[in-house]
Amino acid sequence: MSIDTTCVNAIRVLAADAIQKAKSGHPGLPLGSAAMAYELWGHHMKHNAKDPKWADRDRFVLSGGHGSMLLYSLLHLYGYGGLSLDDLKEFRQLGSKTPGHPEYGHTIGVEATTGPLGAGMAMAVGMAIAERHLAATFNKPGYEIVDHYTYALGGDCCLMEGISSEAFSLAGSLGLSKLIVLYDSNNITIEGSTDLAFTENVQGRMKAFGWQTLEVEDGNDLEAIGLAIEAAKADHEHPSFITVHTQIGYGCPAKQGKASAHGEPLGEENVKALKENLGWPEPDKSFIVPDEVYAHYKELAAQGESAEEKWQKLFADYSAKFPEDRAKWDTFHSDVDAKAIWDNESYWQVEDKPQATRSLSGQMLNRLKDMIPQLIGGSADLAPSNKTHMNDEADFSKNNYAGRNMHFGIRELAMAGIANGMSLHGGMRPYVATFFVFSDYTKPMVRLAALMKLPITYVFTHDSIGVGEDGPTHEPIEQLAMFRALPNFNTFRPADGLETAAGWYLAVTSKETPTGLILTRQNLPQLAGSDREGALKGAYVISEAKDAQNMDGILIASGSEVSLAIDTQAELAKSGLDVRVVSMPSMDLFRQQPAEYRESVLPNAVRARVAVEALAGFGWGDYVGLDGAVVCMPGFGASGKGPELFKHFGFTVERVTEVAKNVIARNKK
């Protein structure tokens, strides 16, 4: 048996052993695609286990994240992050370095958290976009300091998900020729044969998307796999899609080719049979790796070290020859200078006239774009409505990868997944946009961003029934609650220009929390009490009661309803009722404040509290408690003029005043 084959089998055996030990996991993919992964990592991919963050490494995304043991085996065999045999033995155990699905930031060498199917494909597209943008921005003739491939590996699962169609169609349109996808095609899914629901011609679809398509008949033919990867690299106009025909659970006589190989341990006997079948030493024992295997992987790893050495030399020369570009490079790869923005008075200027927060957001974006040259993004075909266009900047397109205005097409989910990939790649701060109601489409990928701690900015405009005539399909109701409940996500709904500026400041200076800016379609007044520091604490007193020590109650609102609350405060004053108004752009930020600050804004003793928000009331109980009330949407919206809808659904000074009076009276009893 060749050393290559033995090294392939080492991946299989480690995967089978670890899954068996954990009594949980998915052996089907690692066994089936061990050969293609080995060939790719060993003979084509540029990577250095000793420097997993090397900027110009090739990226590898295991889109079928359930096959995590494929990745962990490789990381162990290459020596990434000291991932030991003991770590593999702890597969899927609490606190281990080898969780059930690969987790970015948790295990060194994992480029992206995967598991939600199809996600890895979109993230790979995002990485390939990042590579092209940085190459166009930084490379000089003879100094191709950004020049790497992005590889993704996934199965039928990833191909059936709509996100991959969205992402692949865009990748084809953009001609991302340094993107190479390996399709582990085994005709098996959990419910059985793909004939049940997936008889399409996948290669035909990929060709239609503008990809080069290649095919490997035998998933264990290392030479054929290698030739296909070389052919993929040789195409400088199209991304490449390599269908590799495999057998799920290959090597395990009782399981290979069957759905049962997918998602459960093979069983003690079958693991032994696998080892015997593969001619593995000591088939009765677990986690046996011959020395020659480690030795060979060490040789392979050494190639990566030399590759990086060569690049470091090139980069040093580049830095010497182009010091300004090197400085810009450092800016791109560093956190945003928060103080510079904070101290930049012109950034915080707001014209005192009614404006929609989406328009104000567009202004802030255009003020930030020169301060943050690594800011790049766009919309899912709604830029004119989302106000996300950066003026005087070019479009990112097949013909100009240096452009910063991206056009994602009407593909919200892939857009969000691509943003994840761009952020994961490094060297850029992506923002993306759509109508708030269509944040529903983005949700699975926004969740991944929060989980991976990627500080992406989501510009979600048209944030309530203020949408007006487009009606209930376009009017968000429950979306605020959806994002407020999401961990590690800052939902920020500003009330005016200054709060909008604070929102963008929060978003671009965030280090590991994504931010959703929730913005109006309609104009809002600029508020006298608006305060950036207060806004960044999540909530603050925007209009104080006359006698704060003895106030009758508190009105709490966010975004477009803050001015309504302030108007209600004035109306209540006519009846001798003295209330405080709290602007709460972000429950997430407020929750993180010290107890004293929270008490200072919402004193525990004041129970007559009314929240006003033209969306679902769910969740406001956390702030108004059992003695307060919420003026909110009772259900879905309707089609009509925005101001008429506000009136129709009771967002008027009269109604909020009435509710507040009742609450105050009830609490005085």
- Helices 323-332 & 119-138, crossing angle to 10 degrees? 160
Q: Applying CB under 8 A, does 651 fall inside the site for a copy of itself?
A: no
215 binds a copy of itself (CB under 8 A): no
List Cβ neighbours of 9 (8 Å cut-off, separation of 6 or more). 34, 251, 278, 279, 280
Catalytic site includes residue 412:
yes
Q: Is 173 in the site for a copy of itself (CB under 8 A)?
A: yes
Please report whether residue 638 would count as binding a copy of itself according to CB under 8 A: yes
Selected from 51, 86, 200, 352, the binder of a copy of itself by CB under 8 A is 200
Asked if 440 interacts with a copy of itself (CB under 8 A), we say yes
Q: Which residues pair with 519 in a beta bridge?
A: 461
Does 441 contact a copy of itself by CB under 8 A? yes
Question: Kind of pairing, strands 629-633 and 429-435?
Answer: unpaired
Nearest to 664 by CA among 600, 611, 604, 606: 606
Phi, psi for 139 (deg, rounded to 5): -65, 150
Instruction: Select from 31-39, 43-51, 194-202, 359-367 the region that touches a copy of itself (CB under 8 A).
Output: 194-202
The CB-of-63 to a copy of itself minimum distance in angstroms stands at 12
Q: How far is the CB of 645 from a copy of itself (least distance, A)?
A: 7
Return the range that interacts with a copy of itself (CB under 8 A); candidates 318-326, 346-354, 409-417, 575-583: 409-417
The answer to whether the CB of 133 falls within 8 A of the CB of 396 is yes
- Position among 301, 619, 659, 664 found at the interface with a copy of itself (CB under 8 A): 619
From residue 574, give the alpha-carbon distance in Å to each of 548, 567, 568, 571, 578.
17, 11, 10, 5, 9
Query: Can you read off the two tokens belonging to residue 98?
Result: 């080898």
Residue type, 426: G
> Does 443 engage in binding with a copy of itself (CB under 8 A)?
yes
Residues whose CB falls within 8 Å of the CB of residue 433, separated by 6 or more in sequence, listed in order: 377, 378, 379, 380, 382, 383, 386, 388, 458, 459, 460, 461
105 binds a copy of itself (CB under 8 A): no
Phi-psi category of residue 641: left, alpha or beta, with phi > 0 → left and psi -120 to 50 → alpha: beta
Q: Does 64 bind a copy of itself (CB under 8 A)?
A: no
Which residue in this structure is represented by tokens 């996934």? 154
Instruction: Give the helix ranges, DSSP H, for 426-487.
Output: 439-452, 479-484
Binding-site size for a copy of itself (CB under 8 A) equals 120
| Distance (Å) of CA 540 to CA 68, 512, 514 | 45, 24, 22
Nearer to a copy of itself, 273 or 556 (CB): 556
DSSP 543-568: E--TTGGG-SEEEEE-GGGHHHHHHH
What are the residues facing 582 on neighbouring strands? Answer: 541, 556
Which residues within the stretch 454-513 sit at the binding site for a copy of itself (CB under 8 A)?
468-474, 477-478, 480-482, 484-488
Does 22 contact a copy of itself by CB under 8 A? Answer: yes
Q: Does the footprint of a copy of itself cover residue 204 (CB under 8 A)?
A: yes
**Is 288 near a copy of itself (CB under 8 A)?**
no
If binding is defined by CB under 8 A, does position 569 make contact with a copy of itself? no
Of 307 and 486, which has the nearer Cβ to a copy of itself?
486
x/- contact string, 346-385, with a copy of itself (CB under 8 A)? ---------------------------------x-xxxxx
Q: What is the DSSP letter of 548?
A: G
How many angstroms separate the CA atoms of 38 and 27, rounded? 16
Does position 597 bind a copy of itself by CB under 8 A?
Answer: no
- Annotated catalytic residue within 412, 499, 561, 613: 412
| Closer of 174 and 527 to a copy of itself (Cβ) | 174
Out of 156, 308, 578, 613, point to the residue binding a copy of itself (CB under 8 A). Answer: 156
Task: Kindly state whether residue 387 participates in binding a copy of itself, applying the rule CB under 8 A.
Answer: no
List the catalytic residues. Answer: 412
